C-alpha cells in the first residue's frame, strides 16, 4: 500500500462518535418504547420495489424479507447485500434491520442512522426509540434502524478481543509525549490493531465505505417496498444521507440531516474544526460549572481552564490507578471530557469526574471514557471503535502537505489551547491495510427535493458552520438553526425544531430556509 503521512491530530477523535455517545444512557433516556399493555402488530412484508433494477442486482433487490419478533413492538430481519457493489456476483454480506411498525396508519418507512461511523442503528431504535424520534413519527411511520455494513449485527469489522481493545484504547505510552519514540510506539499499536482487523474481518475492509453503505440503504428502501427513501440521519448519518441523495436523487424522499458533516472539508480541517468546537463547548461547560457554586475549579473561565490544563498535565505525568487496575492517563481523561460534552445532560458527570480526579480517584472519568468506547463491565458491547476506524480510513483521502499540517497544528494550539496537547499523534490510517477510495468535495444532490439540515450553534462534534455549509451546497438545502449546546438538534426539547422536522416528514411542509429556533 502507499505510505501515508503522519497527521498532527488523532483520527480517533477526528470525525464523530455519533449519537450513540450523546449520553443516551448517561442521561437516563433508555425508555420502554411501547405503551404498557400494547399488543404487537402482525408482521407485514411488502412487495420489493424492483423498477429499473439491472439483472445482476435483481437477486438482491427482489429478495423477500422474513421478519421475526425481537422485542415488544419490534421485529427484525436480515437483508442480503453485495459485498462489492461494482461486482455484485463476487460475494455477499448481511445487513441487520429492526422495525417498529407505525402505531397508527403508516405513511411508509422512515430509515434512521445514529452516526459514528460505527454506531448501531438497530440498538438505537430497539433500545431507545423515543430518544431517536418523536411520538408523531412513531405513530405515522414504520421506524427502521439498521446496522450499516461493518457495524454491529451486520457483517462486521472484527479486530481485537476485550483485553486487546483495553490495551489499545487505554494503555499509556512509555516514551515522552511528542517525542519520536512516542510516535513510533503509537504507530506500532495502530499497526497491530490494523493487522488484527485485516486478519479477523473476512476480507470486508476494502468495501467498508460510505458510498457502499448508501447503496445498501437504497437496497433496504427497495426491499421494504418504498418507492422513495424517507430518512432521519444524525451526525455521520448526515454524510450518509447526503451521499445517498447524490447517488439516487430521484429516490430521495424527505430527508432530514441533523448535526451535519461538511463533505467538502479535508481530514485536517475536520480535526481542527472539531478541536475548536470541543474547546468552545468545554468553556461553556466551565462557565456553567462555576456558576453552579459546586465546581471543583474556581475563578474566571480562563483561570478554570488553566487549572484543568494543569490537571491534564498532572495525570499525563502521573496516571491515576482505577479500582480495576487500569491507569487513567491524559488521553483517557480527554476521551472522558469529550464524551460528556456531547450533551449538556452529561455535564454533572463531568463535574463529578473532575472533582474525583483532583482527589486521585479516576472512577467516573473511566465511566465516561468507557461509555464513549462502548465498554461495559470489562467487555465491549459493540464494535463501534473498529467500524469507526474502518470507515474513516477508507473515506478520507491521503493528505501529504507538511505546510498544511503545520498550519493546522498552529490553528489548534491557538484556538484550543487546553485540548491541543492531547489532539495529537500519528495518523492511524497510514498503516491501514488498504488505501482510501473516498474523496472530499461538495455534495449538491441535484434533482433531489428539499433536504432539511439542522445545526446547533455550539455543537462540539459537528460544529454549526458545517451545517451552514452543507445546506448551502445542496441544491435544495434548507437550514434550521437550534440555538444551544450539545450535539444535534431534533428531539431535544426544542418545540420549534421538532415541529418543523415533523411537519416536513409527515406533511411535506418545507420550513423557511434559515429558520432560527431559540
Distance between CA atoms of 133 and 116, rounded to whole angstroms? 18
Q: Are strands 320-321 and 327-328 parallel, antiparallel or unpaired?
A: antiparallel
Q: Which three cell numbers stand for residue 267?
A: 481530514
Distance between CA atoms of 110 and 130, rounded to whole angstroms? 14
- Known catalytic membership, residue 459: yes
Q: Which three cell numbers stand for residue 110?
A: 422512515
- Reference 98, options 109, 87, 82; nearest CA is 109
Residues 6+ apart with CB under 8 A from 83: 90, 91, 92, 93, 203, 204, 207
Q: Are strands 477-485 and 515-517 parallel, antiparallel or unpaired?
A: parallel
Looking at 7, 96, 109, 235, which residue is catalytic?
A: 235
Distance between CA atoms of 253 and 109, rounded to whole angstroms? 11
DSSP state of 429: G
Residues 6+ apart with CB under 8 A from 463: 273, 274, 276, 277
Distance from the Cα of residue 211 to its chain's centroid = 16
- The answer to whether the CB of 341 falls within 8 A of the CB of 300 is no
- Known catalytic membership, residue 302: no
Annotate 159-184 with DSSP letters as a single string: ---HHHHHHHHH---SSPTTSHHHHH
Looking at 331, 395, 424, 459, which residue is catalytic?
A: 459
Site of grid cell 472530499 = 440
Helix (H) or strand (E) holding 79: strand 74-82
Distance from the Cα of residue 516 to its chain's centroid = 25
Q: Which three cell numbers stand for residue 112?
A: 434512521
- What backbone phi and psi angles, to 5 degrees, belong to 92? -135, 155
- Known catalytic membership, residue 475: no
- The answer to whether the CB of 366 falls within 8 A of the CB of 180 is no
- The answer to whether the CB of 457 falls within 8 A of the CB of 248 is no
Distance between CA atoms of 73 and 66, rounded to whole angstroms? 16
Looking at 142, 395, 469, 487, which residue is catalytic?
A: 487
- The answer to whether the CB of 182 falls within 8 A of the CB of 176 is yes
Annotate 188-241 with DSSP letters as a single string: HHHHHHHHHHHHHTTT-GGG--HHHHHHHHHHHHHHTT-SSEEEEEETHHHHHH
- The answer to whether the CB of 31 falls within 8 A of the CB of 131 is yes
Which amino acids are annotated catalytic? 235, 459, 487
Amino acid at each position: 500500500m502507499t505510505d501515508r503521512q503522519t497527521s498532527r491530530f488523532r483520527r480517533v477523535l477526528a470525525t464523530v462518535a455519533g449519537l450513540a455517545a450523546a449520553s443516551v444512557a448517561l442521561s437516563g433516556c433508555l425508555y420502554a418504547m411501547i405503551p404498557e399493555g400494547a399488543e404487537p402488530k402482525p408482521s407485514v412484508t411488502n412487495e420489493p420495489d424492483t423498477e429499473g433494477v439491472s439483472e445482476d442486482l435483481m437477486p438482491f433487490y427482489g429478495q423477500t424479507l422474513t421478519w421475526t419478533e425481537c422485542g415488544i413492538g419490534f421485529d427484525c430481519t436480515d437483508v442480503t447485500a453485495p459485498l462489492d457493489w461494482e461486482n455484485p456476483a463476487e460475494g455477499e454480506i448481511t445487513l441487520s434491520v429492526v422495525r417498529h411498525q407505525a402505531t397508527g396508519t403508516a405513511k411508509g418507512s422512515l430509515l434512521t442512522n445514529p452516526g459514528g461511523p460505527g454506531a448501531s442503528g438497530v440498538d438505537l431504535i430497539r433500545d431507545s426509540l423515543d430518544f431517536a424520534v418523536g411520538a408523531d413519527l412513531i405513530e405515522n411511520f414504520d421506524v427502521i434502524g439498521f446496522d450499516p455494513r461493518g457495524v454491529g449485527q451486520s457483517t462486521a469489522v472484527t479486530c481485537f478481543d476485550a483485553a486487546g481493545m483495553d490495551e489499545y484504547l487505554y494503555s499509556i505510552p512509555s516514551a515522552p509525549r511528542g517525542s519520536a519514540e512516542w510516535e513510533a510506539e503509537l504507530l506500532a499499536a495502530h499497526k497491530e490493531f490494523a493487522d488484527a482487523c485485516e486478519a479477523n474481518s473476512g476480507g470486508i475492509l476494502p468495501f467498508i465505505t460510505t458510498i457502499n453503505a448508501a447503496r445498501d440503504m437504497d437496497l433496504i428502501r427497495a426491499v421494504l417496498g418504498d418507492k422513495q427513501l424517507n430518512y432521519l440521519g444524525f451526525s455521520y448519518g448526515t454524510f450518509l444521507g447526503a451521499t445517498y441523495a447524490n447517488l439516487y436523487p430521484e429516490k430521495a424522499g424527505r430527508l432530514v440531516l441533523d448535526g451535519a458533516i461538511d463533505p467538502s472539508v479535508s481530514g485536517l480541517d475536520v480535526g481542527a474544526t472539531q478541536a475548536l468546537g470541543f474547546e468552545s463547548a468545554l468553556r461553556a461547560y466551565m462557565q456553567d460549572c462555576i456558576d453552579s457554586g459546586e465546581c471543583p475549579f474556581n475563578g474566571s473561565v480562563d483561570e478554570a481552564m488553566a487549572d484543568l490544563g494543569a490537571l491534564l498535565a498532572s495525570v499525563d505525568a502521573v496516571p491515576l490507578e482505577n479500582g480495576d487496575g487500569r491507569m487513567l492517563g491524559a488521553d483517557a481523561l480527554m476521551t472522558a471530557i469529550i464524551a460528556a460534552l456531547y450533551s449538556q445532560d452529561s455535564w454533572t458527570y463531568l463535574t463529578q469526574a473532575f472533582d474525583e480526579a483532583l482527589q486521585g480517584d479516576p472512577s467516573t472519568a473511566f465511566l465516561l471514557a468507557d461509555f464513549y468506547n462502548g465498554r461495559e463491565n470489562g467487555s465491549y458491547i459493540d464494535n463501534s471503535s473498529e467500524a469507526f476506524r474502518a470507515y474513516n480510513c477508507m473515506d478520507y483521502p491521503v493528505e501529504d502537505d507538511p505546510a498544511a499540517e503545520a498550519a493546522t497544528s498552529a490553528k489548534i494550539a491557538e484556538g484550543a489551547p487546553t485540548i491541543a496537547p492531547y489532539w495529537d499523534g500519528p495518523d492511524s490510517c497510514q498503516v491501514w491495510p488498504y488505501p482510501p477510495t473516498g474523496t472530499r468535495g461538495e455534495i449538491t444532490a441535484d434533482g433531489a427535493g428539499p433536504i432539511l439540515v439542522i445545526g446547533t450553534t455550539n455543537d462540539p462534534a459537528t460544529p454549526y458552520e458545517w451545517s451552514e455549509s452543507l445546506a448551502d451546497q445542496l441544491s435544495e438545502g434548507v437550514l434550521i438553526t437550534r440555538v444551544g449546546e450539545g450535539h444535534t438538534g431534533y428531539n431535544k426539547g426544542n418545540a420549534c425544531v421538532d415541529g418543523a422536522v415533523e411537519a416536513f416528514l409527515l406533511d411535506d411542509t418545507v420550513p423557511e430556509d434559515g429558520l432560527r429556533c431559540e
